[in-house]
Amino acid sequence: QQQVKQSPQSLIVQKGGISIINCAYENTAFDYFPWYQQFPGKGPALLIAIRPDVSEKKEGRFTISFNKSAKQFSLHIMDSQPGDSATYFCAAQATYNTDKLIFGTGTRLQVFP
């Protein structure tokens, strides 16, 4: 019940295309859903996050879509660029238990020019 399932494991997109990464969870106590971006040799960096009181959040080319009833959320990267090539992790947290983030297994995105 603590798991966050992430797919796909890897994704290849052409420059200008849309990248979509999906995550699903079981624990209905989760109420904070961040996405992290990790470049090789670097630690993960917070990209965008959402709370379940909204169904969508957009920041620039990055959008989170959230479906509370289906217990799913996804990251959409519009107009994907080669510089977006990185590993993306979804995560979930129950903020009554503010310590640990539960991470998905990651998606390696490659954007080709």
Partner 1 sequence: EAGVTQSPTHLIKTRGQQATLRCSPISGHTSVYWYQQALGLGLQFLLWYDEGEERNRGNFPPRFSGRQFPNYSSELNVNALELEDSALYLCASSLELRPPYNEQFFGPGTRLTVL
- The residues binding partner 1 (CB under 8 A) are 6, 32, 34, 36, 41-46, 49, 89, 93, 95, 98-106
In the complex, the smallest distance separating the C-beta of residue 34 from partner 1, rounded to whole angstroms, is: 8
Distance CA 19, CA 11 (A): 8
In the complex, the smallest distance separating the C-beta of residue 66 from partner 1, rounded to whole angstroms, is: 16
Phi, psi of 65 (to 5 degrees): -110, 135
> What are the tokens at 92?
């979930």
In the complex, the smallest distance separating the C-beta of residue 14 from partner 1, rounded to whole angstroms, is: 26
Nearer to partner 1, 99 or 113 (CB): 99
Nearer to partner 1, 1 or 14 (CB): 1
Phi, psi of 95 (to 5 degrees): -75, -5
In the complex, the smallest distance separating the C-beta of residue 56 from partner 1, rounded to whole angstroms, is: 18
Distance CA 103, CA 24 (A): 11
Dihedral of the alpha carbons of 24, 61, 40, 93, in degrees to the nearest 10: -30
Nearer to partner 1, 20 or 49 (CB): 49
Nearer to partner 1, 74 or 107 (CB): 107
Q: How many CB atoms lie under 10 A from the CB of residue 13?
A: 18
